Each structure stands twice: as C-alpha cells, then as structure tokens.
Structure 1
C-alpha cells in the first residue's frame, strides 16, 4: 500500500479580519505558528475560513498568501467549493495556477442535487482542472449527503483522490475504505471523532482545534499514526473539551475568541457570524486550560 497523498492534521485555517478587511499580517503569523507547531498540511478558505462571506478576490488572495507563506514546507489544500459547478471550476483553476497541492470541494449546498447531480458536479471539475480533489461531505451544513456508492464511482476518476468526512459516522469510514480502494485518501472533518476515524482506517483530519492548539493536536496525530494508542488516548482526553468548546457558538467565533485571547489576531468575524457568547467564552477558556494551551 502506498503512502496517502495527505495524512496527519491539516488545520482548517481561520481568516483573520481587522476593520472589515482580511488581516494579511495576522494570517501569515497564524500560518507560521501552525508550521512551527508541527502540523502536516494547511487548508485555507474552508468553512472555518469563512469562505461563504469572502469575495472572490479575497478568497483567491488568501489562497495565494497561504501558498506563498508555506513556501513548499507543507502541502496546501485550498478550499474551492461552490454550489455552482462553473464557479467551483473557476476557483479551482485559480488554486492550481497559484500552486496549491489539492482542492477541497464541498458538496453543492442549498440546491440539494441528487446523487447523479453530485457525481456530475465532481466529474466536471475532474475534467476541467488537473489537480487532486478532496470531496468535502458535511450534510449538517449542505443539506445533501454524498453516498459511498457515489464516492466509489468518483474514486475511479483520476483527479478525485479522497474525502473530508464531517459526518461523524465511523461505520461509513470502514465501508468507504473497502469500496473506494487503498489509494483513497480519508480525512476526518470532525475533531471529536477523529481518533475513531483513524482506527477505522482514516489517514488524518482537517481540524478546527489545530488553529488553537497546533502542538497538542499534532502530537495526538503523530501518536495515533504510529500506533502509540495510549499516547493518542491521552491526547484525546486532553483535547476533547476543546474540540467541543469551539462549537459552543457558531463557528468560527469561539475559535477566533481563543486566538484573540492568545494575542494572535482580532476576534472579528463577518456577519452573520456574531461574537461568541459569554458562556461560550468561559467554556473555551476552561477547555484551553485543560488542553495546556494557557
């Protein structure tokens, strides 16, 4: 079996703002902190990066900045999804031209395509842009759930290489691994269940928590991926409260609060994401202490 294209922890990077604009200096600092913390890749402008409220110019600029800052030290998987196939192709073409190593493309949201529609969406992207593509399945946000049968069809296409699975359905992971073949890249999109996902044959996680605790999350994945399960279980216990705390309010507001507390960027998010509630802030701080971040 060959090594997967992507493995370990890849933070779903926040996009910092200041006075309504992307704070490029803060973004560079956040990327450098992730690299210093030992993460295994970088994912700009996904859900946590507030891609839904970025203009196309901002979206492309954040990808460019991530690739420039990483400077080949880590792979960059650029978020380029859209519920318009043409728009997804346009964003993916830019990511390839900028030097991204892969594209993360969410299942089309709101218009709720059929399984055949989702297959055709990814097949069109596969045909239009020669770059590895990870399917991002997050039914709680999109209103659609791509099936293992559809993924098995997509796995036969040359550029569709794997998945970010944010369903939390661990039995599905084992079935998918058998259906899609040994080269299929399997990344969790759900921090709390990532340990179980790895045990079911997953290769890593696109992580929200790594934004706040890159060293701790990287250590957890290094243990899990080398079979050091006692160390991984210790890491899981240390991080589980933080995994949960970062979703006690609409994401990424709790994560941005945590980063602001650490002095890394402003807390500012874009509407309709409101600032984290007082209860959320208190839980985030307690969880950061449990995880050894503060």
Structure 2
C-alpha cells in the first residue's frame, strides 16, 4: 500500500460473521469479502466497530484478520483495526496485524484512563514508529471519550505520523474545518499533507462530505450494499450531483434497518450490527445473523423489519 498517495473511495468496515456458538464463521467471512470486492470497493477495514472488534478475543481477531487478508488476496488494501485501551496493548495488536499481512493500521486514541493531547500524540507516534505500517487515526469520541482536535490531526499529518483519519465523531462542522486546515477541497495538493486521507464514517452524509473534499467513506451499511456506495462515490467524483443525491437518499432509507431492534429492549449498537448481519444472511452471504455476546439478538419481528428495508431498496425481489 503506497504511503505517497491518499487512500480514496469506499472502504467498508468488514462485519465479522459468527456461527451459532459465537466463533468466527470463516466461510461466511470469505463470502463477504467477495461480495464487497464484487461491489467495487476500494479497500477493506477489518476489525473496526462494525466488525465488533471490542467483543472479539485476541484469537478471534487473528482469525478474522487472517481470513480477510487471505480472501482479499491483494486485490484491495486491507486496513486492520488495532483498537485497544493503551499503547502497549495496541502495539501487540499492531505486530499481529503486520504478521498477518495487513497493509495499514487503524487506531483510536487511548481510552479508559483520561489522556492529555500530548499523550495522544505520543501514542500515535509510538505506534507508527514501532509498527512500521501506515497508520490511520479513528476519531470515535462516543466510545473513546477523546475528540481528536483539528490542530492535533494536522500536526500528526504534517510530521508523517498519520496517513489519514476516519472521522466517526458526528461533527460535520469539525470535519469541514479539518479539510480546510489541510488545504481545502481544491488546494490539498499544495496543502500541508498532500498524501493524507480524510474518510467519513457517516453513511448518511457521504455526498456532502465528498463534495467538501473528503477522500472517501467507511460505511457500516456498505457491508450490505457496497455497490450503492460505490455508485454514490462515482457520481460525486463524476460531477453527477443529481444521481449522487438520489443514491444517497436511497441509502438513507436503507439505513433505517438499524432501528430493527426495539429501543426499550436492546442497545442501538446491538440493533445496528444485528441488522447488518441479518441483512447479509438474507442476501445469502452469511449463514447466521449472530452478534457477539452479551448483545441481545434480533427477534423475528426485527428481522422482518430488515427484510422490508432490503426489498424497498431493491436488494431483494418485491413479493
């Protein structure tokens, strides 16, 4: 994976299929990689939030990553999440990812203990230096409790520590300010970090993020409809904004599947990941829709909700 050119396009965070006993279903995972590559994606992000990385044991992480790298077979770059609470733990995951053949790493700021921006900077610099692979920051303040500031990201971009950023902060204004700080939509080749990639994690505002100057998207829903996100990306890049808006609006409707699980009975993460997994099962990619414990599993009514969204989006035949 080249560090001189920014990563661009659609890079889904690959869901991790589990069998009925909760172990990684490698056959389904290999089918998912084929589903994504056939959909035209530009890269794969293994062991991210949609991969349930926080729920997997180290052994399961290794199985999942090795399966994704093997199934990708060099056709697209594989980014490996090395997410953990502290730098020493992240370094262990980074070494495992390097040995597994990952092309780049994705890490959050440290969490559990409260950290200072200088400690966050030291964390990323240490991981980049020790791991020897391109490193992408994952801005996920809802889980990590630390928002990566524009000043810090720019500093780490300028000194070559970070190859890019996945922004899942939900702060659209902050994302736009970062893009401007890095040189703006049209001036980034002359900006402080021409090889730095800005990737949005928001499935619902991809058209506007790309128009603002983002390089790509990391959509959890892209597991279900990778071709839809590729069409959206290509429409924006090709200047067909009408087609882009139409595709984005279709994907917004499809995203409604994440509300499948009753809010009074289960968490929103359990509902969303369960929806993605059952959608992939209904599409014939996964064998099971099992989510990792102790998340509550979707019931029949919730699965029917997912199926309706697939049919409405044209991904399953209308009955």
Q: TM-score band, normalised by the shorter chain?
A: over 0.9
Cα gap change, 1:95/1:221 in structure 2, threshold over 3 Å: closer, same or farther? same
Shift in Å, 1:170: 2.3
1:260 equivalenced with 2:281 (yes/no) = yes
In structure 2, how many angstroms separate the alpha carbons of the residues matched to 1:261 and 1:267? Answer: 9
Shift in Å, 1:267: 0.7
In structure 2, how many angstroms separate the alpha carbons of the residues matched to 1:78 and 1:111? Answer: 24
Bigger mean CA deviation after superposition, 52-61 or 243-252? 243-252
Larger Cα Rg: Structure 1 or Structure 2? 2
Bigger mean CA deviation after superposition, 247-256 or 112-121? 247-256
Using the size of structure 1 for normalisation, the TM-score is 0.93
Q: Is the 8 A contact 1:190 1:205 kept in 2?
A: yes
CA-atom RMSD in angstroms: 1.9
The 4+ residue runs of structure 1 with deviation greater than 3 A are 277-283
- String of CA shifts for 1:119-165, please: whole Å, max 9, x gaps: 11111112211111110011112222111111112112324111000
User: What is the DSSP-based 3-state SS (H/G/I as helix, E as strand, rest coil) of the residue aligned with 1:103?
Assistant: strand
Shift in Å, 1:243: 2.4
2:92 counterpart residue number: 90
Using the size of structure 2 for normalisation, the TM-score is 0.86
2:13 counterpart residue number: 12
1:142 counterpart residue number: 144
User: What is the DSSP-based 3-state SS (H/G/I as helix, E as strand, rest coil) of the residue aligned with 2:151?
Assistant: helix
Q: Is the 8 A contact 1:106 1:138 kept in 2?
A: yes
Shift in Å, 1:114: 2.1
Q: Is the 8 A contact 1:238 1:290 kept in 2?
A: no
1:287 equivalenced with 2:287 (yes/no) = no
- Flag structure 2 segments of 5+ consecutive residues without an equivalent: 183-191, 261-267
1:157 counterpart residue number: 159
Shift in Å, 1:247: 5.3
In structure 1, how many angstroms separate the alpha carbons of the residues matched to 2:60 and 2:10? Answer: 25
In structure 2, how many angstroms separate the alpha carbons of the residues matched to 1:187 and 1:162? Answer: 8
Count of residues in correspondence between the two structures: 293
Q: Is the 8 A contact 1:126 1:157 kept in 2?
A: no
Counterparts of residues 105-124 of structure 1 (less than 5 Å): 105-124=107-126
User: What is the DSSP-based 3-state SS (H/G/I as helix, E as strand, rest coil) of the residue aligned with 2:204?
Assistant: helix
Q: Is the 8 A contact 1:131 1:159 kept in 2?
A: no
